């Protein structure tokens, strides 16, 4: 899987706090963001069903329940 880059705009106070949390968790700020994104996706999928990539519109998901209908 290719590693992609994503730029975000974040205010200075939030970035400083992110660095503190990341240091506490013994991670870089980048790694901390990856962990948070992964947790967010897992929670989303628990509530809404698995996100299936490779569809005509990759940003639109098909839930586990809807897969049976395909």
pTM for this prediction: 0.72
Do the domain assignments include residue 7? no
Residue 49 three-state SS: coil
The contacts of residue 41 (CB under 8 Å, 6+ apart) are 51
- Domain of residue 40 covers 12-67
Q: Give the total number of structural domains in the chain.
A: 1
Instruction: Write the Ramachandran bin of 11: left for phi over 0, alpha for psi from -120 to 50, otherwise beta.
Output: beta
Residue 67 has pLDDT above 60, yes or no: no
pLDDT band, residue 54 (cuts 50/70/90):
confident
Whole-number pLDDT of residue 21: 98
Do the domain assignments include residue 1? no
Do the domain assignments include residue 58? yes
Which stretches of 1-70 are DSSP H helices?
12-24, 29-48, 64-67
- Token pair recorded at residue 6: 């994503």
Q: Summarize pLDDT for 16-48 with one digit per residue, the tens.
A: 999 999 999 999 999 999 999 999 999 999 999
């Amino acid at each position: 899987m290719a590693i992609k880059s994503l730029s975000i705009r974040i205010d200075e106070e939030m970035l400083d706090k992110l660095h503190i949390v990341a240091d506490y968790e013994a991670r870089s700020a980048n790694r901390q963001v990856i962990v948070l994104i992964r947790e967010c996706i897992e929670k989303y999928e628990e509530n809404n069903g698995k996100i299936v990539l490779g569809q005509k519109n990759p940003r639109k998901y098909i839930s586990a329940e809807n897969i049976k209908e395909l």
